[in-house]
Structure 1
Amino acid sequence: MNHNQWKTRRTKQLLGEAVEYDQEYIDTRLAGDLGQAIYDRCVELGLSQTELAACAEMTLPRISRIEGGDTVPTLPLLRRLAKALDGSLNVALTAEDSRVTFTPYAA
């Protein structure tokens, strides 16, 4: 999507008009939601990317790409991230929306 397409879509959205999103946009948003959930959980725990990478046995660049929404990790990597972030990873997917959250383990 180029800037003009984004600007037109954003203007329509602000005006309350219906906006349709292509599949690439939806997929990118899911990756961004995952990255944001990981970032938010790290902030809650006071973990840096370096500390998370060490705990999850991953490289720092990989953690950075995941947090930035540039990539979606495999299921085994998601399991390692959930363990390193001391919680369960919850992903809710519907045709229109996605939601990614971490639920901390009980103390």
Structure 2
Amino acid sequence: MRELLEQIETRQAAARDLADRLREQITQFAAQLAEAERRLERLEIARETLLEIAQDTDTGDLDPGGFPLIVDTGCYAALVSVVDRCSKAIGLIWPRRECRRRVL
């Protein structure tokens, strides 16, 4: 009987250790999920802002992605500024050439 109780205690300790490790993983996953959701929200805001700026242009000519084909200098500067701020906020830094390709 004593041997059976010791085996149960051993299994309980192993189950307790496993539960502790899983709780730690859940905590880590929750933090990663929160960060991914923050990044997604920032990207959604950046996209909405870019589309708002694009809609404010007088040209009305948009490419299939919803961006203006012809952009005045002020609008382009505003777009690059938004892209720069958003890309830095999510940890990406695009070269100006890449911004131009993505924005225009």
Higher-strand-fraction structure = 1
State the TM-score, normalizing by the size of structure 2.
0.28
State the TM-score, normalizing by the size of structure 1.
0.27
Higher-helix-fraction structure = 2
Greater relative contact order, per chain length (Cα 8 Å cut-off, separation 6+)? 1
